Structure 1
Amino acid sequence: MNSIYRFLGALFLLCLCLNNPSFAQFSNPFGPDKTVAEQRQEILKKNEQILKQLYSAEPKAKDLIEKSVGYATFSNFGMKILIAGGGSGSGVVINKMSSKPTYMNMAEVQAGLGLGIKSFQNIFIFQSEAALNDFVNSGWTFGGQVTAAAKYDKDGTSYQDATVVAPGVLMYQLTDSGLAAEITGKGTKYYKDSTLNK
């Protein structure tokens, strides 16, 4: 019986939040009046802000990005209410070979108990063209939780505290308190934005 009450309570809170104007602002950060060009500009501006935050938290990350074939930055807003939660966000992939940005979205669905709101930024660094193209074109899914333990490659080269999340793909995660030691990305899907890439 208690589980039924918890479920009904979660649904009630979810309805309240979805009807709250402040939550609507986060779930649609651009607002209804932004043009495609303005949305692109906001994402690129956010990209610069995220890189600035990353370099402040981990200055050596700049060297990794400079040596990469490309990188991606994403800004996420997430909410978790009692038994279920989720989040959404937007970002951009920069292919340094072509300098052409690819605008992408992210969607996250979580399960578990808890109540809270979280915001974070994800930065991906691509060490090969194949890894970058796979991320962009295959609708990459991040399905787990990893700790920042894999800091070196097989030849002993430092990854500057980045975490290896896929072959040829390194990742940093920034939170309000700085660089995350444990990266969370459960059930997160990354995919192209069909509107912004026209």
Structure 2
Amino acid sequence: MNKLSKILLISQLAIFSTMNFCQAESLWDKTTKAVSDTASKVVDTVSDATSSDTTSKEKARHTINNNAQKALSRLFRESKEAKELYNKAAGYAVFDSREVAFLIKTGFGSGVAVNRSNHSRTYMKMASGGINIGGGIKSMQMIFIFPTHKAFNAFVNDGWTAESDASAVAGDDSSSVGITLKNGTKIYQLVDTGLMLKASLSGTKYWRDTDLN
């Protein structure tokens, strides 16, 4: 290889090395920026998620409260007795649920229990299950009217399961609509077609919603 060829080769290698260094530096800058951008987006996403979670809970409570008020208004239109009991009650609870009934009946929903003395609200959940003949899907509202603070507080603090309470089975069914438990609590059930003559309580459980309280 002559001297001129060696000089040209060395020059090309120098140019190639410089280009690679510049490209590597550019790639590093891009990588650093990408990492920085990603970190910022993660922070923003966490912040948005926290904000979104708070907003979604507020919306959930707002929806439950609206549904409860609508259910009460509807109940009072259909039952003068219910309005009279409500006016004297220590508290009430309203649950909005959807029941899926095929061979096995399942139901799930949410609601709110309200202390009429101090207007405090406790958000709760419900679920039910049992054997069913037939099929279909229906929405319903269950309304509890508690005559005493003892009955109300027991429901809110301990939850309630129909099968665990003998009074749910042995309640007074002499009135025209709903079920009256031994502690005086009155239960009404509203469905798409109107106020049910007798509320269906079999396999139903109610408990405090830890997410919304």
Do these two structures clear the TM 0.5 threshold for a shared fold by scoring above it?
A: yes
Matched-pair contact (CA < 8 Å) for 1:145–1:182: no
Cα-to-partner distance string for 1:80-100 (whole Å, 9 max, x where unaligned)? 222x12010111001012211
Distance 2:180 2:138 in 1: 23
Partner of residue 124 from structure 2, selected from 91, 97, 104: 104
Q: Residue type of the partner of 1:174? A: L
Partner of residue 124 from structure 1, selected from 105, 128, 144: 144
Partner SS state of residue 37, structure 1 = helix
Partner of residue 108 from structure 2, selected from 49, 66, 88: 88
Partner of residue 115 from structure 1, selected from 135, 138, 142: 135
Corresponding residue of 1:138 = 158
Structure 1 unpaired stretches of 5+: 1-31, 152-159
Structure number with bigger Rg: 2
CA RMSD of superposed structures (Å): 2.3
Cα-to-partner distance string for 1:132-179 (whole Å, 9 max, x where unaligned)? 01111112012366897333xxxxxxxx84421341311111111211
Q: Residue type of the partner of 2:191? A: T
Partner of residue 51 from structure 1, selected from 72, 80, 85: 72
Corresponding residue of 2:9 = none
Distance 2:169 2:131 in 1: 14
Aligned residues: 157
User: By how many angstroms is 1:39 displaced?
Assistant: 0.6
Distance 2:130 2:140 in 1: 15
Partner of residue 77 from structure 1, selected from 98, 102, 121: 98
Matched-pair contact (CA < 8 Å) for 1:145–1:184: no
Partner SS state of residue 63, structure 1 = helix
Asked if residue 181 in structure 1 is aligned to residue 197 in structure 2, the reply is yes
What is the identity percentage for the equivalent residue pairs of Structure 1 and Structure 2? 36
* Bigger strand share: 1
Matched-pair contact (CA < 8 Å) for 2:124–2:209: yes
Asked if residue 41 in structure 1 is aligned to residue 62 in structure 2, the reply is yes
Partner SS state of residue 131, structure 1 = helix
Mean CA deviation greater in 55-64 or 68-77: 55-64
* Bigger helix share: 2
Partner SS state of residue 113, structure 1 = coil
Q: Residue type of the partner of 1:44? A: N
Partner SS state of residue 150, structure 2 = helix
Corresponding residue of 2:174 = 150
